[in-house]
Amino acid sequence: MVDISTTIGSLRIKNPTMLASGIMDEDAGSMHRMIRSGAGAIVTKSIGLHAREGYPNPTVLELEYGLLNAMGLPNPGIDAYEDELQLLKKSRVPIIGSIYGATPDEFARLADTMQHCGAAAVELNVSCPHAKHYGMEVGCDTQLLYKIVTAVTEQVTIPVFVKISPNVTNIVEIASAAEQGNADAIVAINTVKAMKIDLETRQPILANKTGGYSGRAIKPIGVRCIYDLAQHIKLPLIGVGGITTGQDAVEYFMAGASAVQLGSAVYYRGPDVFRAVCTELKDWMSAHGYTNVSQLVGAALP
Amino acid sequence: MNIPIITPIQSTTLETKDVKTITFAHPAPVIPGQFYMIWIPGVDEIPMSVSRITLKTKAITFRDVGDATHQLFQLNAGSHIGIRGPYGNGFTIAGKHLLFVGGGTGIAMLAPAIEHARKQKVKTTVIIGVKTHQELFFEQHMKRTGATVYVTTDDGSYGEKGFASDLAATVLKKEHIDAVYTCGPELMMKTLHKLCKHIRFQASLERYMKCAMGLCGQCCVGDGLRVCVDGPIFDGTTLQKITDFGKYHRDAAGRKIMYK
């Protein structure tokens, strides 16, 4: 009997496929659908203190080997989003509140509201590669990141996940700052900063010009990051980046991840991708004699 | 690859003082009710339902209402726009006598469905509802298909005075209609939906759209139905379950905006 439930610190989830932030998660109805589609946990859209419209279109492109997006952190603001979270209070799966801000105080206030609204954990977005003053801009400053994580962990009792960027020289240094701030888990990776130019008009297609690259193309980057982090960080790791099949999830587990997040895969395989990946994972595990996800975690590490 | 392809505008037609049709070369098959994402480089990219389908060309017809449509409105034959699509599900056209109800510019996207029905020799009744005579377009175009065409104006300046939904109620009482197809202001479609409890019903929904690829969730209605992929056409049974239908839509930030 294969058991694919997993734990991330104190958080237990019935299967290791979580919905990544930014996909089908701006309203309660969409998140309900992803729960019905079999996601083991839901990470919300990144929510800030105030409403934000995001960038004009085009915001998402499908390139040869992956997706390129610059949404620009659109969200209705934490006050309006509370209404959506209220509708999810009876949800069977954990809801993880993704939040973004510019200062430790902003993050702490947002985390506090997320906890109040029933979030099982918060995920700090310190890695969005295309929003001025937010995301990667705060997450690449280790001192600021330490202060943000400390402010949040002192404010709330629910687990604090920190989602970090691959667009740095030394990802371990960034994760260490989060670990010192008492984070409960590291989520890696956010998208890879990238661009697509239209030859006819000689201009970048995304309205924001640069965006974040995701999907299959970045899977090897994500796997390498998790592998590096697993050797230097004691915290549980959640792998994100190009996971589209059950075997992709196995690869991330072997690199050291205890759970995975799926985003672009919803485009490639539709909302039911969670159920499909879980089935593939179970099949792979039983064919290879594994009964528990924990047996796979870090199997490739030296 | 799913990116806008720069395409020259083949021709443009001014339908009214602020409604324009843009025709471009696009050989891909399109189902009536499907839409394109139209990129106006440097400005925005917006969803536009197809308003004319030929083997080699497609067209969009739109009103000059916002920043993006205003820029698009200025373009003429030879100008370039980015095209991607078609997207969405499209109408399912079936029945012996069909009723089409277009409110405002809604007739633009119903036109290919009406043409399709008439090509199959299906008896077709069309109601075009506009505020005033100056806003009317596609009346002759629809008559040429052989459909029975009625026009309503809010101010009585042409056709019947009143709302398209009122005339639809009269038609539904008099005639045996197998299916109703509609596009227009959501409150009008909601009224029609209530009239069609026992008649097959399909409505084209409009929501603020971003990715058009079923990912971002911006255009979701009800319990996670994506207007861009699962729609934009929804049938009566599905609409019954979409509690936001006729109540609210969401702005670019995802905030609820109530219909009034």
Would you call A221 an interface residue with chain B, using a CB distance cutoff of 8 Å? no
Q: Are B248 and B240 in contact (CB under 8 A)?
A: no
pLDDT of residue B11: 98
pLDDT for position A73: 96
Mean pLDDT of chain A, nearest integer: 96
- Which pLDDT belongs to residue A134? 87
Tokens representing A230 are 């697993």
A 63-82 residues inside an 8 A Cβ radius of B: 63-64, 67, 69, 71, 74-77, 80
Interface probe, candidates B216, B226, B255, chain A, greatest A C-beta count within 10 A: B216
Taking CB atoms and an 8 Å cutoff, what residues of chain B touch A214?
A: none
Token pair in block for residue B182: 């509609």
CB contact under 8 A, B213 and A59: no
Out of A128, A140, A225, A278, pick the active-site residue: A128
Q: Decide if A80 and B39 are in contact by the 8 Å CB cutoff.
A: no
- The pLDDT value recorded for residue B39 is 98
Burial tier of B64 (Cβ tally within 10 Å: 0-12, 13-18, 19+): middle
Kindly report, residue by residue over A143-169, the tens digit of the pLDDT.
999 999 999 999 999 999 999 999 999
Question: What are B161's strand-pairing partners?
Answer: B153
**B5-87 against B97-258: fold identical:** no
CA distance B4 to A216: 21
Question: Domain B5-87 carries which CATH code?
Answer: 2.40.30.10
- Name which of A180, A90, A95, A175 is nearest A127 in CA terms: A175
List CB contacts (< 8 A) between A58 and chain B. Answer: 3-4, 37, 39, 45
Residue with tokens 């971003």: B210
pLDDT in tens, chain B (260 residues): 999 999 999 999 999 999 999 999 999 999 999 999 999 999 999 999 999 999 999 999 999 999 999 999 999 999 999 999 999 999 999 999 999 999 999 999 999 999 999 999 999 999 999 999 999 999 999 999 999 999 999 999 999 999 999 999 999 999 999 999 999 999 999 999 999 999 999 999 999 999 999 999 999 999 999 999 999 999 999 999 999 999 999 999 999 999 98
Nearest to B213 among A51, A62, A200 (CB): A62
Alpha helix stretches (DSSP H) within chain B: 67-73, 107-119, 139-144, 164-174, 186-195, 236-241
Task: Report how far residue A258's alpha carbon sits from residue A249's, in angstroms, rounded to the nearest whole number.
Answer: 10
C-alpha separations of A77 from A98, A222, B170, B248, B254 in Å: 12, 30, 46, 18, 9
Query: In angstroms, what separates the C-alpha of B34 from chain A's closest C-alpha?
Result: 19
DSSP string, B64-77: --SHHHHHHHT--T
Q: Domain limits of chain B?
A: 5-87, 97-258
Chain A positions touching B211 (Cβ under 8 A) are 59-60, 69, 71
Counting as low any pLDDT under 70, the low residues of chain A are none
**Chain A residue closest in CA terms to B5:** A198
Check B4 against A62: CB less than 8 A apart. no
What does the pLDDT read at residue A136? 82
pLDDT of residue A128: 82
> How far apart are the C-alpha atoms of A141 and B136, rounded to whole Å?
59
Write down the pLDDT at residue B42.
93
Within B89-155, strands assigned E span 97-103, 123-130, 148-153
Between CA A195 and CA A205 the distance in angstroms is 8
Candidate from A27, A58, A271 with C-beta closest to B254: A27
Q: Which of A248, A246, A249 is closest to A281 using CA atoms?
A: A246
Confirm or reject contact between A200 and chain B (CB < 8 A): yes
Determine whether the interchain pair A54/B253 forms a contact, defined as Cβ–Cβ distance below 8 Å. yes
Chain A CB contacts of B215 below 8 Å: 23-24, 60, 67, 263-264, 266-267
Does A34 reach chain B within 8 Å, measured CB to CB? yes
- Whether residue B66 lies within 8 A of chain A, CB to CB, comes out as no
Interface of B with A in 186-225 (CB under 8 A): 210-218, 220-225
CB within 8 Å of B239: residues ≥ 6 apart: B193, B201, B203, B245
Query: pLDDT digits over B193-252, tens only?
Result: 999 999 999 999 999 999 999 999 999 999 999 999 999 999 999 999 999 999 999 999
Among B6, B44, B256, beta carbon nearest to A198: B6
Minimum Cα–Cα distance from A73: chain B residue: B253
Buried b (16+ CB within 10 A) or exposed e, B5-29: eebebbebeebbebbbbbbbebeee
CATH, range A6-295:
3.20.20.70
Judged by CB atoms closer than 8 Å, whether chains meet at A200 and B221 is answered as: no
Q: What are the domain boundaries of chain A?
A: 6-295
- What is the structure's pLDDT at A127? 87
Look at residue B109 in the predicted model and tell me its pLDDT: 98
Which chain A residues are closer than 8 Å to B256 by Cβ? 80
- Return the exposure string of A86-104: e unless at least 16 CB atoms fall within 10 Å of the residue's CB, then b: eebeebebbbbbbbbbbeb
A140 as an active site residue: the answer is: no
Write the single-letter amino acid at A221: I
Give A80's contacts in chain B (Cβ within 8 Å).
254-256
B6-17 pLDDT tens trace: 999 999 999 999
Q: Are B88 and B231 in contact (CB under 8 A)?
A: yes
Contacts of A196 in chain B (CB under 8 A): 3
Q: Which two tokens stand for residue A168?
A: 């740095």
- Does CATH place domain B97-258 in 3.40.50.80? yes
CB contact under 8 A, B217 and A30: yes
CB-CB under 8 Å, B211 with A76: no
Q: How far, in Å, CA of A199 to CA of A193, rounded?
A: 20
Q: Please give the Cα distance from B133 to B114 (Å, whole number).
A: 22
What's the pLDDT at B198?
Answer: 94
Q: What is the pLDDT of residue B260?
A: 85
* Three-state secondary structure call for residue B174: helix
